[in-house]
């Protein structure tokens, strides 16, 4: 009985530690629930191996310093759009990405964030380059 309880507790702790924090993010008039990719491991894995991504979901990659990040779609099964975002929340660039593509998509600007959403979501909600996203406090605490 004690062994079963220990295994159950360990399993619960491991499953909680592997899930990413989610925050609400307003894009246009809609609210998206985005997972935060903050650690090098979570940023490296991103949305790989997922078979679907609901319409108002996504992943926000948070970098410790401004940089020119590069992304690819290896092992990513759903079509995505990515926005490269400055520290002040201004979208600098948006690109569509093809599932499984090994072609790097690199920001031409130094940015602090990258946001991946289902392909076409930025267009659907009327968000384009120059739009300013108000980052929630849960995100800003990681920004120096």
Query: 23-33: per-residue pLDDT in tens?
Result: 999 999 999 99
Q: Which three-class secondary structure state does DSSP give residue 131?
A: coil
Higher pLDDT, 56 or 3: 56
Compute the distance between CA of residue 106 and CA of residue 124 in angstroms, rounded to an integer.
23
Assess whether pLDDT exceeds 60 at residue 138. Answer: yes
Give me the long-range contacts of 91-97 (CB less than 8 A, separation at least 24): 91/127, 91/128, 91/129, 91/130, 91/131, 91/132, 91/133, 92/129, 93/129, 94/122, 94/128, 94/129, 96/120, 97/71, 97/73
**pLDDT tens digits, 85-118:** 999 999 999 999 999 999 999 999 999 999 999 9
Alpha helices of the chain — where are they, by DSSP H? 2-18, 40-45, 121-124, 137-140
pLDDT at residue 144, as a whole number:
81
pLDDT at residue 2, rounded to an integer: 43
- The pLDDT value recorded for residue 89 is 98
What proportion of the chain, given as a percentage, has pLDDT over 90?
Answer: 84
**Per-residue confidence band for 10, with pLDDT thresholds at 50, 70 and 90:** very low
| pLDDT tier, 6 (very low <50, low <70, confident <90, very high otherwise) | very low
Fold of the 21-140 domain: Jelly Rolls (2.60.120)
Pairing verdict, β 70-71 and 22-27: unpaired
Contact between 113 and 27 under an 8 Å Cβ cutoff? The reply is no
Return the domain boundaries, the chain. 21-140
Q: What is the pTM for the complete model shown?
A: 0.86
């Amino acid at each position: 009985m004690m062994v079963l309880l220990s295994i159950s507790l360990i399993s619960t702790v491991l499953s909680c530690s592997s899930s990413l924090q989610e925050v609400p993010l307003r894009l246009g008039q809609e609210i998206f629930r985005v997972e935060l990719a903050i650690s090098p491991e979570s940023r490296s894995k991103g949305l790989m191996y997922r078979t679907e991504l609901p319409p108002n979901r996504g992943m926000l990659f948070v970098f410790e310093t401004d940089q020119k990040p590069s992304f690819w779609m290896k092992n990513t099964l759903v079509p995505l759009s990515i926005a490269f975002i400055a520290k002040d929340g201004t979208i600098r660039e948006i690109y569509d990405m093809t599932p499984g593509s090994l072609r790097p998509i690199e920001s031409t600007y130094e940015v602090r964030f990258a946001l991946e959403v289902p392909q076409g979501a930025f267009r659907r909600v009327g968000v384009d380059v120059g739009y300013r996203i108000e980052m929630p406090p849960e995100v800003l605490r990681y920004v120096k």
